[in-house]
């Protein structure tokens, strides 16, 4: 045998000796059959490995992978190799390492068993207890054979068994996302989040481990009554970071800020004097809010609704959704306010009120309402005047105007005064008749003694009836206090006239006769 041949034979024998059973060696895929894969590991013969031991991504001619040497010569005369055992051995080493570092591992549940799932983690079978699964209410088809991240919470080296947790992996993933978000977040960033909860004052948005508050005032440039008008739980929305506090873990979000502020060019769109139609969006005691454009609202104050009617409750005249025509009075860009008017669309009837209703004129009107101090009467042109309680009767003491009039009743009155600037017309009923007090003064000279009928008793005296429409007052100082306390309506009492004030329409009396 030549020297060269001997050298080659020695090298060949040495290469064979380098491979032992139980080793993990590197082999190259030579060919791929329907059921088997031929692998060259540099031995005298090639190994055959079942195709089921390979992942689809590994089935490629020429690809080098690691294999476990089961035997140097199997029943078929070839070397016995296992891809799965090599994976498991290497996998266990990694599992031990990951259990020590807390690093998450990839795995897939392969079978549901009592109390949890069996999970394939790098070729090692692990157990996932239900209490650690985080798969509550999730269908099995959404879990089995799907890859997830897990944390190894316990290992048994002797049995090579592991217990894994999906719940702790989810928490760790969220913590990592949260840490990353806090490192990257900047004011003005646009982030995608999921609506997590809705309250009266806003909505909480999950940004991926960090919850932010989207306040109701930052949802829309338009006025909204409740956050549910804009978002719903589960919605995915893009929001802007308005502010944040890492120490307290608070993030303020904005939705409307992603769109141009409609108030920026408001003075170009709306000017004082413009007539414009809008939709009633809110009604409050002091006025009506009208939407003129998307995100733009104006206020019709109650004083700008009518020239003639006293509007105390706008709800009686308007409803949300009504379309109304208005005139712009003022545009305040800085304070985001637009003042509107309805009455300015009509001629001001008060400009002609003094000419139309001269003092002393007798007119007719309809009773519209009452106050403790008088009655309101609607005249022509919808102008409204008031009869003060002191102008109902020359002689009768009127406690409330409803004693004399009813709502809707037609009544004749006399115009006493007209104040067009303050939009007031004073009316009187008693002025329809001549003032009887000059005559009354003559009928009741001082020191006249007469019989009277008690009407009512007050702290300051006793009211008595002198005639059917005429009363007088016995001053408290002019009657015995105990005697006054015993008096009741319709009692008879003798009185003396001690004062007659025709200008004030009053008769003062004394019971000390």
pLDDT at 339: 94
* Spatial distance between the Cα atoms of 104 and 174, rounded to a whole number of angstroms: 13
Is the separation of the CB atoms in 49 and 36 below 8 Å? Answer: yes
Cβ neighbour number for residue 462 with a 10 Å cutoff: 25
Q: What percentage of the chain has pLDDT greater than the value 90?
A: 28
**Longest pairwise C-alpha distance within the chain:** 173
Task: Decide if 62 is inside a domain.
Answer: yes
H/E stretch holding 483 reads helix 481-485
The separation between the first and the last C-alpha atoms of the chain, rounded to the nearest angstrom, is 171
* 397 and 339 within one domain: no
Structure tokens at 111: 């079978």
Give the residue among 168, 178, 54 at the shortest CA–CA distance from 104.
Answer: 168
pLDDT at 324: 93
* 472 and 445 within one domain: yes
Give the residue among 297, 295, 293, 381 at the shortest CA–CA distance from 331.
Answer: 297
Residue 10 has pLDDT above 70, yes or no: no
* 441 and 506 within one domain: yes
Quick: pLDDT tens for 459-511.
Answer: 889 999 998 889 999 999 999 888 888 999 999 999 999 999 888 889 999 99
CATH of residue 161: 2.40.50.140
* Spatial distance between the Cα atoms of 233 and 379, rounded to a whole number of angstroms: 57
Quick: pLDDT tens for 345-367.
Answer: 887 888 888 888 899 999 999 99
* 424 and 353 within one domain: yes
* 66 and 130 within one domain: no
Is the separation of the CB atoms in 47 and 78 below 8 Å? Answer: yes
Instruction: Please tell me what DSSP assigns to residue 161.
Output: E
Is the separation of the CB atoms in 267 and 309 below 8 Å? Answer: no
pLDDT at 232: 92
Residue 373 has pLDDT above 80, yes or no: yes
Residue span of the structural domain in which 251 resides: 185-258
* 67 and 41 within one domain: yes
Structure tokens at 246: 């890492």
Residue 5 has pLDDT above 70, yes or no: no
Q: How confident is the model at residue 432 (pLDDT cuts 50, 70, 90)?
A: very high
* 160 and 118 within one domain: yes
Residue 335 has pLDDT above 90, yes or no: no
pLDDT at 6: 59
Instruction: Please tell me what DSSP assigns to residue 26.
Output: E
Is the separation of the CB atoms in 29 and 38 below 8 Å? Answer: yes
DSSP-derived pairing of the beta strands 250-254 and 211-215: parallel
pLDDT at 17: 47
Query: Side-chain half-sphere of 167: how many Cα atoms within 13 Å?
Result: 12
* 166 and 202 within one domain: no
Give the mean model confidence (pLDDT) for residues 31-56: 81
Give the residue among 465, 440, 450, 462 at the shortest CA–CA distance from 497.
Answer: 450
* 155 and 121 within one domain: yes
Domain count of the fold of the chain? 6
Task: Decide if 8 is inside a domain.
Answer: no
Structure tokens at 398: 């009127």
Task: Decide if 4 is inside a domain.
Answer: no
Q: How confident is the model at residue 197 (pLDDT cuts 50, 70, 90)?
A: very high
- Three-class SS state of 382: helix
Task: Decide if 164 is inside a domain.
Answer: yes
Residue 434 has pLDDT above 70, yes or no: yes
Domain final residue, candidates 383, 403, 432: 432
DSSP-derived pairing of the beta strands 449-458 and 461-467: antiparallel
* Spatial distance between the Cα atoms of 299 and 283, rounded to a whole number of angstroms: 10
Kindly give, in sequence order, each residue whose CB lies less than 8 Å from that of residue 50, ignoring residues fewer than 6 positions away: 35, 36, 37
pLDDT at 377: 92
Task: Decide if 7 is inside a domain.
Answer: no
* Spatial distance between the Cα atoms of 475 and 134, rounded to a whole number of angstroms: 90
Task: Decide if 417 is inside a domain.
Answer: yes
Highest mean pLDDT among 82-86, 158-162, 421-425: 421-425
* Spatial distance between the Cα atoms of 294 and 303, rounded to a whole number of angstroms: 26
Task: Decide if 5 is inside a domain.
Answer: no
Give CA 214 to chain center in angstroms: 9
Q: Which residues pair with 109 in a beta bridge?
A: 119
* Spatial distance between the Cα atoms of 233 and 443, rounded to a whole number of angstroms: 86
What are the angstrom distances between the C-alpha of 138 and each of 127, 130, 141, 168?
A: 18, 12, 8, 17
Domain final residue, candidates 136, 171, 206: 171
* Of 24 and 60, more confident: 60
* 291 and 235 within one domain: no
Residue 395 has pLDDT above 70, yes or no: yes
- Three-class SS state of 253: strand
* 335 and 366 within one domain: no
* 326 and 272 within one domain: yes
Task: Decide if 203 is inside a domain.
Answer: yes
In sequence order, which ranges of 312-454 are alpha helices (DSSP H)? 353-356, 437-443
Domain final residue, candidates 101, 116, 140: 101
* Spatial distance between the Cα atoms of 261 and 258, rounded to a whole number of angstroms: 9
Q: What is the pTM of this model?
A: 0.44
Instruction: Please tell me what DSSP assigns to residue 139.
Output: -
pLDDT at 493: 92
Give the residue among 32, 21, 23 at the shortest CA–CA distance from 54.
Answer: 32
* Of 58 and 281, more confident: 281
């Amino acid at each position: 045998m030549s020297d060269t041949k001997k050298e080659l034979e020695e090298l060949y024998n040495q290469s064979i000796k380098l491979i032992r059973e139980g080793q993990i060696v590197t082999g190259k895929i030579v060919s791929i059959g329907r059921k088997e894969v031929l692998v060259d590991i540099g031995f005298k013969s090639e190994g055959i490995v079942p195709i089921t031991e390979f992942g689809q991504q590994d089935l490629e001619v020429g690809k080098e992978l690691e294999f476990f040497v089961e035997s140097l010569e199997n029943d078929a005369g070839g070397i016995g190799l296992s891809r799965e055992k090599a994976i498991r051995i290497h996998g266990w080493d990694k599992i031990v390492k990951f259990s020590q570092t807390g690093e998450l591992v990839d795995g897939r549940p392969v079978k549901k068993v009592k109390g949890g799932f069996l999970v394939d983690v790098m070729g090692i079978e692990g157990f996932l207890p239900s209490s650690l699964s985080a798969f509550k209410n999730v269908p099995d088809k959404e879990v089995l054979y799907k890859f997830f991240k897990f944390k190894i919470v316990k290992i048994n080296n002797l049995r090579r068994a592991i217990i894994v947790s999906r719940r702790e992996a989810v928490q760790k993933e969220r913590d990592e996302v949260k840490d990353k978000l806090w490192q990257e977040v900047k004011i003005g960033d646009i982030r995608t989040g999921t609506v997590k909860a809705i309250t009266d004052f806003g909505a909480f948005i999950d940004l991926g481990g960090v919850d932010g508050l989207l306040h109701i005032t930052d949802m829309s440039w338009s006025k909204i009554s409740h956050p549910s008008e804009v978002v719903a739980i589960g919605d995915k929305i893009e929001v802007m970071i308005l502010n944040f506090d890492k120490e307290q873990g608070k993030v303020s979000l904005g939705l409307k800020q992603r769109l141009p502020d409609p108030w920026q060019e408001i003075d170009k769109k709306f000017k004082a004097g413009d007539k414009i139609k809008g939709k009633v969006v809110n009604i409050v005691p002091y006025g009506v809010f009208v939407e003129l454009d998307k995100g733009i609202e104006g206020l019709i104050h109650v004083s700008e609704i009518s020239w003639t009617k006293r509007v105390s409750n706008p709800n009686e005249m308007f409803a949300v959704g009504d379309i109304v025509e208005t005139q712009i009075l003022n545009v305040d860009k800085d304070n985001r306010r637009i003042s509107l008017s309805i009455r300015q669309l009509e001629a001001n009837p008060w400009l002609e009120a003094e000419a139309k209703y001269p003092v002393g004129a007798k007119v007719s009107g309809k009773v519209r309402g009452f106050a403790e101090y008088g009655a309101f009467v609607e005249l022509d042109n919808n102008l409204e005047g008031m009869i003060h309680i002191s102008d109902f009767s020359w002689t009768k003491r009127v406690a409330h105007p409803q004693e004399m009039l009813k709502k809707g009743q037609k009544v004749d009155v006399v115009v006493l005064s007209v104040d067009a600037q303050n939009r007031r017309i004073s009316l009187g009923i008693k002025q329809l008749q001549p003032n009887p007090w000059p005559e009354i003064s003559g009928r009741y000279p001082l020191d006249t003694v007469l019989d009277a009928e008690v009407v009512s008793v007050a702290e300051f005296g006793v009211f008595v009836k002198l005639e059917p429409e005429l009363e007088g007052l016995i001053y408290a100082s002019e009657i015995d206090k105990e005697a006054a306390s015993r008096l009741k309506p319709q009692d008879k009492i003798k009185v003396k006239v001690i004062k007659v004030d025709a200008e004030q329409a009053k008769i003062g009396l004394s019971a000390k006769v």
